[in-house]
């Protein structure tokens, strides 16, 4: 059930934030009570709402169940825009192209993306990995129709990969780091030169229009959280490992590949958002043309 963002007369207003387990910076702010302290002078309290993946999170944003979204993969916003969601971009993380990859078993005979033709490939629908796969196939002269897609959650994808039900798995960190540390895995293709893998932060457009002051505080605190995690890799991994259920070494390896540099949404990021939207439209996954430039963008003063 959605929580009303506005309190009764004299009561604080509530900022409702949606996040996933992969929302490292937002979970850091949540665990430390940072936003509760920073927003108290504005008379704003915070409630936290966890989602299983980016698509349901942005759907909740669109229907007014939450006000702000933590980071989602770069492939997710085009789906929301295609559905007519009234959402605004308010931040992004700079590129982390090595934080996702197509992997195969070390003993696999597949040595190139072109050799995935006719093979079963696991990936999460609407994730950044989905776009990486589309772009890698396109560069190899193939399309999604040339493989057998298996749209699976990260947990189900790993199980299918390990038991040999799929020939390849397209996955992102920290799940990528986890399967690599297990051994017997080879990276067939990561995002270098194909997919920058920016993470985007979005908010309900009516909320942005009404409470730009709140957005500004959240933006600043996300930047600080990112700076702390990069400056303290060991401590950050020790904190985040139990949150996501992974060992410290795996989390530290994953964090090393992710930029965590929160910045305003720039032209390069929007251009790639358009390329992602066009790729999904061409593949018949998004039913209509999406014009990313028509989306509202919040930028810090």
Upper half-sphere CA count for residue 133 (Cβ side, 13 Å): 33
In a domain, 3, yes or no: no
Give the pLDDT score at 160.
Answer: 97
Rounded CA-CA distance 100/75 in Å is 13
Q: What is the CATH number of the domain that holds 106?
A: 3.40.190.10
Give the pLDDT score at 33.
Answer: 97
Q: Do the Cβ atoms of 68 and 38 come closer than 8 Å?
A: no
In a domain, 130, yes or no: yes
Rounded CA-CA distance 15/38 in Å is 12
Rounded CA-CA distance 177/288 in Å is 35
Domain boundary residue, one of 190, 206, 230: 190
Structure tokens at 76: 């997710």
Question: Helix (H, G, I), strand (E, B), or coil: what is residue 121?
Answer: strand
Both 27 and 75 in a single domain? Answer: yes
Residue 9 has pLDDT above 60, yes or no: no
Average pLDDT over residues 178-186: 93
Average pLDDT over residues 23-39: 96
Both 288 and 140 in a single domain? Answer: no
Give the pLDDT score at 5.
Answer: 53
The predicted-structure confidence for 184-228, as pLDDT tens digits, reads as follows 999 999 999 999 999 999 999 999 999 999 999 999 999 999 999
Alpha helix (H) residue ranges in the chain: 24-32, 34-39, 54-62, 76-82, 128-139, 154-162, 175-182, 205-210, 212-231, 233-244, 248-257, 267-282
Residue 11 has pLDDT above 90, yes or no: no
List, as one string, the DSSP characters of 4-70.
PSSPSTTSPEEEEEEE-TT-HHHHHHHHHTHHHHHHGGGTEEEEEEE-SSHHHHHHHHHTTS-SEE-
Q: Is the pTM of this model over 0.85?
A: yes
Q: Do the Cβ atoms of 25 and 222 come closer than 8 Å?
A: yes
Both 163 and 30 in a single domain? Answer: no
In a domain, 134, yes or no: yes
In a domain, 1, yes or no: no
Number of domains in the chain: 2
Give the pLDDT score at 284.
Answer: 87
In a domain, 5, yes or no: no
Average pLDDT over residues 239-254: 93
Both 217 and 250 in a single domain? Answer: yes
Residue 274 has pLDDT above 50, yes or no: yes
In a domain, 234, yes or no: yes
Both 137 and 207 in a single domain? Answer: no
Average pLDDT, the chain: 93
Q: Name the least confident of 32-41, 50-59, 134-143, 171-180.
A: 50-59
Both 227 and 267 in a single domain? Answer: yes
Give the pLDDT score at 125.
Answer: 87
Rounded CA-CA distance 256/188 in Å is 20
Which pLDDT band, with edges at 50, 70 and 90, does 22 fall under? confident
How many residues belong to the chain?
Answer: 301
| Structural domain boundaries enclosing 79 | 13-95+197-294
Both 208 and 287 in a single domain? Answer: yes
Both 178 and 45 in a single domain? Answer: no
Both 69 and 106 in a single domain? Answer: no
Domain boundary residue, one of 163, 190, 217: 190
In a domain, 18, yes or no: yes
Average pLDDT over residues 247-258: 96
Position of tokens 């295609």? 82
Share of the chain above pLDDT 90, in %: 84
Both 224 and 241 in a single domain? Answer: yes
Question: Any residues with CB less than 8 A from the CB of 267 and at least 6 apart, and which?
Answer: none
CA distances from 286 to 176, 212, 236 (A): 27, 31, 37
Domain boundary residue, one of 174, 190, 206: 190
Both 40 and 163 in a single domain? Answer: no
In a domain, 6, yes or no: no
Both 90 and 104 in a single domain? Answer: no
Rounded to the nearest 5°, which phi and psi values hold at 98?
Answer: -90, 5
């Amino acid at each position: 059930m959605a929580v009303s963002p506005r309190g009764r007369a004299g009561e604080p207003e509530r900022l409702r934030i949606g996040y996933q387990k992969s929302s490292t910076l937002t979970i850091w702010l949540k665990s430390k009570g940072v936003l509760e302290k920073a927003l108290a002078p504005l008379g704003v309290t915070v409630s936290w709402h966890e989602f299983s993946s980016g698509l349901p999170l942005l759907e909740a944003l669109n229907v007014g169940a939450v006000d702000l979204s933590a980071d989602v993969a770069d492939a997710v916003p085009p789906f929301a825009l295609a559905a007519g969601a009234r959402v605004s971009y308010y931040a992004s993380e700079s590129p982390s192209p090595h934080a996702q990859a197509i992997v195969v078993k070390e003993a696999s005979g597949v040595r190139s993306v072109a050799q995935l033709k006719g093979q079963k490939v696991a990936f999460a629908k609407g994730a950044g990995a989905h776009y990486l796969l589309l772009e890698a196939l396109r560069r190899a002269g193939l399309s999604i129709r040339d493989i057998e897609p298996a749209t699976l959650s990260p947990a189900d994808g790993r199980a299918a990969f390990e038991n040999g039900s799929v020939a390849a798995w397209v996955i992102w960190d920290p799940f990528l780091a986890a399967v690599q540390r297990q051994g017997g895995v080879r990276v067939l293709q990561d995002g270098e030169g194909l997919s920058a893998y920016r993470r985007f932060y979005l908010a309900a457009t009516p909320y942005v229009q009404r409470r730009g002051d709140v957005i500004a505080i959240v933006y600043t605190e996300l930047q600080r959280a990112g700076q702390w995690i990069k400056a303290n890799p060991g401590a950050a991994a020790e904190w985040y490992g139990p949150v996501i259920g992974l060992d410290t070494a795996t989390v530290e390896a994953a964090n090393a590949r992710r930029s965590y540099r929160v910045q305003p949404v720039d032209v390069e990021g929007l251009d790639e958002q358009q390329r992602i939207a066009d790729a999904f439209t061409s593949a018949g996954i998004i039913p209509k043309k999406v014009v990313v430039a028509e989306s509202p963008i919040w930028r810090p003063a």
